[in-house]
Structure 1
Amino acid sequence: MELNTIKDAFDRVVKKQKLSSSKSQDMIERVSQEIEQALSRMQSVVGTTSQPDHKVVLAEVKTKLKEMSPLSQLDNPQKELSVALNKYPKILEKSFNPDISKAYRNVDFDVHTVNQILASHFYREGLFDIGDCFIEEAQEPEYADKKSPFLELFRILEAMKSGELEPALEWAATNREKLDQSGSNIEIQLRRLQFIDILQKKGRDEALKYCRKYMTPCAHLCMPDIQKLMACLLWAGRLESSPYYDLFAPHHAEKLAEELAQQYCKLLGESYESPLSTTIAAGVQGLPTLLKLMNVMTGRKQEWQNMKHLPVPVDLDKELQFHSIFVCPVSRDQASEENPPMLLSCGHVLCKQSITKLSKNNSTRPFKCPYCPTEVEVAHCRQLHF
């Protein structure tokens, strides 16, 4: 991968620089030591009858410095560092090609959809002033409706950061039915966190009253949580040393705030991650492969933009893969309804068109699997459904 190549080149430069610096410092110290010793010899007998000849001392220092040969000692490390430094920009230039215009297809984008994605991104990132300015300049006033929900979300999250759970609890209570349908128990988690807060600030009695009022009615859904909270009463005043410290640890509150944001976006019908951020992340990962493809196709005088499918796979991280797809390892074509993935009797999977070519369009003629020695018959192949 390009990043590994760049890192290796950078590490080589750092290593050469440290080596050169170390040798230079060592040589400077040795030269300084010889000079200081010579000065000490000349000064130690000042005023005595046995005063040495300064010319003799200087001649001795000159001879020692000539033997040490500091310039030649430093020459090789400096040359190696210079070579590494000269190679590094070339590797950067090769890996980070500034001209990416040929690495994408000419697609007609819907301007209104793009504007909506940008406005939504600003609002979901809390950049409300920028979002308002963008909508005004893009003349897309209908997208201002995106602002209000995210304003409420940020108000809830800011309150949670300061330890106030009431706005979050109000939202959870208002959307209780929808949250139950999605299988979320975030209201119970918020109640549990507030119980701990009351126990620490107001004591056992107030915490017990809170539990009876808000958690007992839903005991059938959260009995294990209630049991843990009742056990916390025994550790009042020393919860930090209790077995239940995780219930109110800072990381727990942070995870709860993240889960609330996910559920909030889910009820809005929005993705938790910004579509713009996701698109850019996928593009950054896929760009090196597309640039390589562009260079190959340019050399062969072929126009890859006219192809229905990319001739090479673009590997993305797991979090950027949202739908299961299959790319035939033989033809490199992506599976479709007309060309579905087929399971061979040996366990390998090819697309239907590849099987047709390998069998020479003869359903009774066995053919060899391209990935193992097994002889396969078309009649024994089964279509896979993702």
Structure 2
Amino acid sequence: MDLTSIQEVFDRVAKKQKLCCSKTQEVIDRTLHEFEAAVEHLDVTVDRSPEFRKGILTDLQLKLTEIAPVNQVGALQKELNTTVSKYGKMVDKAFNPDIAKAYREVESDSHLINQIIVQHFYRMGLFESGDCFAKESQEPNAAAALKVPFYEMYQNLGHLREKNVEPALSWARRNRQALEAKGSSLEFRLHQLQFLHVLRTKGRIEALEYAKLNFTPFAAEHMSDIQRLMACLLWANRLECSPYKDLLSPSQWDKVALEFTRESCNLLGQPYESPLYVTLSAGSQALSSLLKLATVMSSKKQEWAALKQMPVEIELDNSFQFHSVFACPVSREQSTADNPPMLMRCGHVLCKQSIQKLTKSNSRMFKCPYCPFETSASQCRQIYF
């Protein structure tokens, strides 16, 4: 059962709950109305005989017996509980809680895993947690080389969030050569934010001097941006109402902070996302497929733990695609330099070794596994992704 079906059942449960609540409230209101009416009659007939007042209470009892609030509310609650119970069973069936079935016993290096965990703490800015884990795991040197640069990165990010550009600019100047080699525009973007800050706080003259001093090295590649910034001088006291108000958007600071984080990680030779986070996220997406595969293999009395490679392809989001790969639809193996993907005349693609198995010589014709078209190995061409 897919998530859409579960959502539809949940909507029905929610609708039933609202209906039950509405009907229960009606029963309570009706019961309360009869009590209030009886109290009002008793107040009016305070001087009447006891038999008359007893008659009012008898009538109230008859009406309450007719309404039967306890029975009505109980029936409604029982009906709701039945619906909720069915939904719970459906969720349990759709989401198998026994994720241990997808577990495989594999050899692992505990020292390497500890280093990855410590590095993850440092990458997330949790330096005290990283130090504590390194101490308790007896890995004092785990990712120690990354602690200082990541600490500096988070300090600079903290200053950027407080609209203080100078620390990040100082870092960009020290790494200007490496940033230029990558074609990064980070230093200019930081100068842009500082220029606008100077313009709004110190006025046109100070902003113009700042531009003359810092924009010249970037004129060749960022002339159009510099021209927009110079036009801001005409709107110094009313930038919020100018055609350049987009430059004041808080998103500009967020974009620069993100770019600064990416460039910092890149110069450290580290990916932007934590490897541990990426691994766990990919694993959580693949978990349902792995559980299904393990269940199917178990029913066929095949050993899940004995597999050397996955017999099926695990679909992941595009965010987990870091480079182009091709898996041969025949052999299920990924292409390599020695086994590249080959394009057949019909348009289908197989790996070279699969084609060689289909034909014993380059002149022999063979039928495509996916269409009736026939071709030969000599007619296939290597393709590149």
Q: TM class by shorter-chain length?
A: 0.7 to 0.9
In the other structure, the counterpart of 1:289 is: 289
Measure, in 1, the Cα distance between the counterparts of 2:140 and 2:170.
30
Matched, 1:377 2:378: no
Instruction: Report the aligned-residue RMSD.
Output: 3.2
Matched, 1:275 2:275: yes
In the other structure, the counterpart of 2:99 is: 100
Measure, in 2, the Cα distance between the counterparts of 1:323 and 1:290.
23
Measure, in 1, the Cα distance between the counterparts of 2:76 and 2:373.
62
CA-CA distance at 1:343 after TM superposition: 4.4
Q: Which moved more, 1:341-350 or 1:26-35?
A: 341-350
In the other structure, the counterpart of 1:144 is: 144
Contact 1:335 1:341 in 2 (8 A): no
CA 1:144–1:104: 2 relative to 1, 3 Å = same
Measure, in 2, the Cα distance between the counterparts of 1:69 and 1:349.
74
In the other structure, the counterpart of 1:132 is: 131
In the other structure, the counterpart of 2:176 is: 176
Contact 2:343 2:380 in 1 (8 A): yes
CA 1:47–1:270: 2 relative to 1, 3 Å = same
CA-CA distance at 1:4 after TM superposition: 4.8
DSSP 3-state at the match of 1:304: coil
Contact 1:325 1:334 in 2 (8 A): no
In the other structure, the counterpart of 1:210 is: 210
The gaps in structure 1 that reach 5 residues or longer are none
Measure, in 1, the Cα distance between the counterparts of 2:151 and 2:213.
30
Contact 1:42 1:52 in 2 (8 A): no
Q: Deviations over 1:265-295 (max 9, x none)?
A: 0111101111111111111111111111111
Measure, in 2, the Cα distance between the counterparts of 1:38 and 1:355.
93
In the other structure, the counterpart of 1:22 is: 22
Matched, 1:163 2:130: no
CA 1:16–1:356: 2 relative to 1, 3 Å = farther
CA-CA distance at 1:218 after TM superposition: 2.9
Measure, in 2, the Cα distance between the counterparts of 1:58 and 1:353.
95
Letter in 1 for 2:38: A
CA 1:37–1:353: 2 relative to 1, 3 Å = farther
Measure, in 1, the Cα distance between the counterparts of 2:211 and 2:129.
43
In the other structure, the counterpart of 1:191 is: 191
Measure, in 2, the Cα distance between the counterparts of 1:383 and 1:196.
53
In the other structure, the counterpart of 2:52 is: 53
Contact 1:135 1:144 in 2 (8 A): no
CA-CA distance at 1:305 after TM superposition: 2.8
Contact 1:159 1:167 in 2 (8 A): yes
Measure, in 2, the Cα distance between the counterparts of 1:207 and 1:293.
64
Contact 1:45 1:52 in 2 (8 A): no
In the other structure, the counterpart of 2:304 is: 304
Contact 2:358 2:366 in 1 (8 A): no
Q: Which moved more, 1:21-30 or 1:342-351?
A: 342-351
CA-CA distance at 1:306 after TM superposition: 2.4
CA-CA distance at 1:86 after TM superposition: 2.2
Contact 2:240 2:248 in 1 (8 A): no
Measure, in 1, the Cα distance between the counterparts of 2:381 and 2:167.
55
Trace 1:84-123 onto structure 2 (pairs within 5 A): 84-123=83-122
CA 1:139–1:236: 2 relative to 1, 3 Å = same
In the other structure, the counterpart of 1:313 is: 313
Contact 1:311 1:333 in 2 (8 A): yes
In the other structure, the counterpart of 1:242 is: 242
CA-CA distance at 1:340 after TM superposition: 5.7
CA-CA distance at 1:240 after TM superposition: 1.6
Measure, in 2, the Cα distance between the counterparts of 1:45 and 1:112.
88
CA-CA distance at 1:255 after TM superposition: 1.5
Q: Which moved more, 1:94-103 or 1:231-240?
A: 94-103
CA-CA distance at 1:126 after TM superposition: 1.1
Measure, in 1, the Cα distance between the counterparts of 2:51 and 2:343.
96
Contact 2:342 2:349 in 1 (8 A): yes
Measure, in 1, the Cα distance between the counterparts of 2:69 and 2:360.
75
DSSP 3-state at the match of 2:305: helix
CA 1:198–1:107: 2 relative to 1, 3 Å = same
CA-CA distance at 1:61 after TM superposition: 3.8
Q: Which moved more, 1:16-25 or 1:115-124?
A: 16-25
CA-CA distance at 1:24 after TM superposition: 1.0
Measure, in 2, the Cα distance between the counterparts of 1:310 and 1:303.
12
CA-CA distance at 1:68 after TM superposition: 3.9
CA-CA distance at 1:303 after TM superposition: 1.0
Identity fraction in percent: 48
Measure, in 2, the Cα distance between the counterparts of 1:365 and 1:154.
60
In the other structure, the counterpart of 1:78 is: 77
Measure, in 2, the Cα distance between the counterparts of 1:92 and 1:201.
58
In the other structure, the counterpart of 2:325 is: 325
Measure, in 1, the Cα distance between the counterparts of 2:29 and 2:291.
50
CA 1:52–1:328: 2 relative to 1, 3 Å = farther
Contact 2:294 2:304 in 1 (8 A): yes
Measure, in 2, the Cα distance between the counterparts of 1:170 and 1:206.
20
Letter in 1 for 2:365: T
What is the aligned length? 380
Q: Deviations over 1:302-354 (max 9, x none)?
A: 0133233312221211111223334456x582443477655455545556788
DSSP 3-state at the match of 2:272: coil
Contact 2:327 2:335 in 1 (8 A): no
DSSP 3-state at the match of 1:83: helix
CA-CA distance at 1:259 after TM superposition: 0.8
DSSP 3-state at the match of 1:297: helix
